[in-house]
Structure 1
Amino acid sequence: MENCINVSSFSIPNPFKKKHKPLPIETLFKLPSLLPSWPQGEGFASGIIDLGGLQVCQVSTFSKVWVTHEGGPDNLGATFFEPSSVPDGFSLLGFYSQSNNRPLCGWVLVGKDAKKEGALKEPIDYTLVWSSESLKIK
C-alpha cells in the first residue's frame, strides 16, 4: 500500500465551477493605517447630537435590501441598504445606497424628537417614485 494516494488531502479543480470574485462592496473597508489610541472621553462626541430638540446619531451597520449587478460605474450595479442597530427611541430618516465598485463605507443619520414638540413625526403616506418591476434587471 506504499503507492496509494490519500484522496482526502488531494483535490481536483473543477473547470466547470464558476469562480465568483467578490465585488468591492462585498469586501471589508480598511483604513490605510492603524488609528492612534486616544484617551477615554467623558461625554464629548458620545454619538448623539441635539439640534434644538431633534437628536440625531450616526448608524453605519446595514442590512442589504436590494442589489443589481448591472449599470452604474464599471457596470457593477448598486446595492441598497436599510440601517440596522438603530438605538431605542430613534427613527429611520432614510436608507443608504452606493455603487458596487467600491467597498461599503457609508452611514446614515437616525433621529429622535427629544422634546416631544413635533420636530419629528411618523410618516402618513408614501409615494413610490421608482420600481425595477418592468425592467429586466438581474
Structure 2
Amino acid sequence: MTAADPPRAAKALRGAAAAVLVLEGIAVLFVPRGIAQTDEGLGGGLLALLLVLALVLILGSGIQRRPRGLVIGTALQVPLLATGLINGVMWFVAGAFLLIWAYLLQVRKELVGTAFGTVEAPDRTDGGGSATPTP
C-alpha cells in the first residue's frame, strides 16, 4: 500500500525522523547524571564524548530534509546503542529508540515504496499527454 501523495508522506516521515533524533539527543544528555553517581564518577573525556554525541544527534535531525538524511540518521543509531557500554540502562533506552527508528523506516517503506530512496512526484498526466486542465 502506498500513500496517495508519496512526497507529502515522505516529508511527514522526515519530520518524525527529525523528532526522534532530537529525543535521542536529549536522552543522551541524561547519561552523565547517571554516571556521576557511580563510584568511578564522570571524567572529562567521557563527558565530552557524550556531549558531542548529543550534539551530533541534534544536528542530525536538521539534515533529515537532505537526500541522505535517513542514512545518516540510521548510522547514528550505532553510537547511540554503544552508550549502553557506558551506562547499562542505555541498552534499554537506545534499544527502544532503535525499535522506533526501525518502525519509522518500515512505515516509510510501506507508504512511499522505499526506505531510503528519493521520492518522485506521481505523474498527473492523463495517458501520457500534456497535463492540461479540463474545462
Q: TM-score, normalised by structure 2?
A: 0.23
Largest Rg, 1 or 2: 1
The alignment's TM-score, normalised by the length of structure 1, stands at 0.23
Give the number of the structure whose residues are more often strand, by fraction: 1
* Higher RCO structure (Cα 8 Å, ≥6 apart): 2
